Structure 1
């Protein structure tokens, strides 16, 4: 017999033995795929003690106003309106135009100062705190009682 034939016979014998060992291995004794669930109880987080969470917040407030009734704006507007109104017309109409200009200018000056004061704000920081519960009290897990084959297990 040649060397190649001997090697072939040995390899064939090893292959047959290996296939015999594999076929002897029990494939039908697998673990069960499913368990019977007997009971389920949710585990809840009790929330723990409340804690305080603080943060710095930027806030804007209207600035303190010295002239709350807009008197300065009314007076400046009335003078400017009166001067412009006196430039219109002649004789008695000139006086009437000056009075009408003063009234309209006073009203306009008042509203202009009111708008400017409303836009004037002061910005600062303020500490704001909120009370928060730790954990939130939600479900964090489950206690499960089950049967796997003939054994009863839990957790």
Structure 2
């Protein structure tokens, strides 16, 4: 039993000694090439413009003005007809009839107006965006590669791990 325990302790010490001898240190590697990684991105935007558009409207004021002018004209014409009490009835009837006809004529004429209207539409706007760099570098005669978020320059920092075999 003591022999097994001693063997187990020796193995544990040998294993921990291996980890204790492992070492890491910073160094620099020479950059061989650096290529931009490009991605197409859509950033939609809105385009707007103003157009003239013809709009038909009913002449609201024309109906009132037409009623007044028609009523006066009808009253004058009705006053010319008849005599005595009939003259008063004809004047009132002419005024009412003229007002109705004037309102119809005045409001029945549509007006055309130019109105400015804003129109918009969404337009795709594709752009190329650099999302990183594919870098090839040389360290002590061996080439390695990695994707980096920015342009590295002539050399890049590396971490060297030394572990016994």
Please classify the TM superposition score into its range, dividing by the shorter chain length: 0.3 to 0.5
TM (normalized to structure 1)? 0.42
The two structures have a TM-score, normalised by structure 2, of 0.40
